[in-house]
Amino acid sequence: MKIGLLIYSLSGGGAERVMSYLLPYLRKQGYTVYLILMNPTISYDISDDTPIHYIERSKANESGIFKLLKLPFLAYKYRNLVKELEITHSFSMLTRPNYVNILMGLFSRNRPKIIVSERGYPSMAYGYDGMQSKINNILIKQLYPKADLVIGNSMGNIKDLINNYGVKKEFTRVIHNPLDVKKIIKLEPLNGFFDKSYFNMITVGRLNTGKNQELLIRAISKIPKARLYLMGIGPLEVELKNLVKNEKLSDRVFFLGFDNNPYKYLKSANLFVFASNHEGFPNVLLEAMCCGLPILTTNCKSGPSEIMRLKKNLNDNIMKTSYGILTPIKDLNLMIKGMKHFIENADYIESCKKNVLERVNDFEKESILKSYESALLKKK
């Protein structure tokens, strides 16, 4: 069994972290594993003897049209690589690598088993106006049903693929994101970084429209004795920094960039906040919980309600759980109310801190990586 793991890059991100766990795990089980990338960025530690192949070395600023036009060419190159390496099982994560993976199979006579992993909630991620969303919706509908197996990281995104994209239920599987609980717990906090005279909130995620960090910045402006720290990089960095400047929040909102070890910051903060409009299964919530942080998150589709075991959805109020609070997406007033609730209720914070550490054990990486291995081994 020779396994090809195809992903755009190993830059900072949830899918990339999962792939960085899966790669050494499968090799340890005795499989021949090749890492196939489309961009040379590698932010996670991988073994020096890991076989890495590139079907392209693309640049992040390429236009959407150019990316679309390249898909058949990349699929053809990947087909040749699969044939050369005698890959028997091809597994991909993220939308564009998934397209390349499935198209490769259409170009092959004796194709490998093709497994794709959808990490988002496509009908919302591509629910915006514009040609890019329309094209992605068409490609998912046409290509995903042709895969041998579609893995989702939440019940929500699998239901979306079944209901809106024609993927048959029997060819799907839900595997939640793995978490290296033991490793994270051992890491030391960054003592002295946060000013304890403030209530310090932190968020982690790519700075883009979907993550909606703007909501957090506007909310923090109404919470005088609180500070917000944003970890991540992305296309909206300049715009968000200008918003902070215009709102006169430069002394209370800080940009930390990307750090391969966000845990040292998470372990020292008071609260993890998250304002995403849509998700597949936000791994960062689990990572924050593993650091003992209570959670304040939007109840976006999908993932947060599964992670936090929300029993009743409300559209007009904050939603309290044993692990933290959920609010409706894009609701500034309720995000502010959620922040104030934590600040004003120290006992609730302490209760959440204990509960989140118990909850994360359900996502310990060894058992979840075994689930991936089982999915790969399953016959067509």
- For residue range 300-357, list pLDDT tens digits in order: 988 999 999 998 888 899 999 999 999 999 999 999 999 999 999 999 999 999 999 9
Clarify whether residues 32 and 152 are in a common domain.
Answer: yes
Percent of the chain with pLDDT strictly greater than 90? 86
User: What is the Cα–Cα distance from 214 to 249, expressed in whole angstroms?
Assistant: 13
Q: What is the pLDDT of residues 122-162, one digit of tens each?
A: 998 898 888 989 999 999 999 999 999 999 999 999 999 99
Percent of the chain with pLDDT strictly greater than 70? 99
For 5, the 3-state DSSP assignment is strand
Query: 19 and 7 in contact (C-beta within 8 Å)?
Result: yes
For 273, the 3-state DSSP assignment is strand
Clarify whether residues 70 and 194 are in a common domain.
Answer: no
Clarify whether residues 219 and 316 are in a common domain.
Answer: yes
Clarify whether residues 135 and 165 are in a common domain.
Answer: yes
Clarify whether residues 371 and 358 are in a common domain.
Answer: no
Clarify whether residues 168 and 232 are in a common domain.
Answer: no
Q: What is the pLDDT of residues 62-101, one digit of tens each?
A: 888 899 999 999 999 999 999 999 999 999 999 999 999 9
Residue appearing with tokens 């936000």:
282
Q: What pLDDT is recorded for position 14?
A: 81
Clarify whether residues 233 and 135 are in a common domain.
Answer: no
Q: What pLDDT is recorded for position 379?
A: 58
Residue appearing with tokens 């699929």:
75
Q: Is the pLDDT of residue 281 over 60?
A: yes
Clarify whether residues 168 and 210 are in a common domain.
Answer: no
Residues 6+ apart with CB under 8 A from 147: 98, 101, 102, 105, 114, 115, 116, 171
CATH number at residue 50: 3.40.50.2000
Clarify whether residues 29 and 143 are in a common domain.
Answer: yes
The residues with which 257 forms a beta bridge, in sequence order, are 231
For 274, the 3-state DSSP assignment is strand
- Domain count of the fold of the chain: 2
Eight-class DSSP state of 167: -
User: What is the Cα–Cα distance from 150 to 167, expressed in whole angstroms?
Assistant: 8
Clarify whether residues 186 and 162 are in a common domain.
Answer: no
Clarify whether residues 370 and 351 are in a common domain.
Answer: no
Clarify whether residues 241 and 156 are in a common domain.
Answer: no
Domain range for 229: 181-363
Its pTM surpasses 0.75 = yes
Orientation angle between helical segments 365-377 and 14-28, nearest 10 degrees: 70
